[in-house]
Amino acid sequence: MKKILVSFSTLLLVAVMSVSCNKNSAKDVATTWLTSFYHIDYETAKKVSTEDTKTLLASLQQFTNMVPDSTKKEMKKINVNVKNVKEDGDKAVATYTISDNPAKDQTINLVKKDGKWLVQFSKNDQMSGAGDASGPEQPAGSDSAGAPAGTMADTTMH
């Protein structure tokens, strides 16, 4: 009887730890991806991204060498607050704010693939205010012309 009780207790402990260590909720994935994205840590963001999103991140990653270290250091200070996640089957939308602009709600899309939540982001997606039709936010570390921060975009007419 004692052996059964010990076995049951061990099984219960493992089950509780498995549930408490689950970092694949839509909110956890959105928080991980957004924090990594804004901190210019694209390798970490890729771990919770769809294949198309990984491709986009790889493209952005090529520009990180042009971003000055001082800008990278400032970017690491940005905090993300995922306020709400609305799940609808295998799709979810996370509403969040960033510490640089806490009054502006922004959204990011997630999809569930093989039981895991992944961020689905493309350059056409709006990472903007919920219901805001102003267009997509510029990627972190870029200026209004889409050039990485700290670089001069050639906006002259030829």
Tell me which H or E stretch contains 35: helix 26-38
> Quick one: pLDDT band at residue 1, thresholds 50, 70, 90?
low
CATH topology of domain 23-120: Nuclear Transport Factor 2; Chain: A, (3.10.450)
pLDDT tens track for 45-88: 999 999 999 999 999 999 888 999 999 999 999 999 999 999 99
Tell me which H or E stretch contains 119: strand 116-120
pLDDT tens track for 43-53: 999 999 999 99
d(CA 3, CA 69): 59
pLDDT tens track for 86-122: 999 999 999 999 999 999 999 999 999 999 999 999 8
DSSP states of 51-116: HHHHHHHHHHHTTGGGS-HHHHHHHTT--EEEEEEEEETTEEEEEEEETTEEEEEEEEEEEEETTE
In the chain, domain spans: 23-120
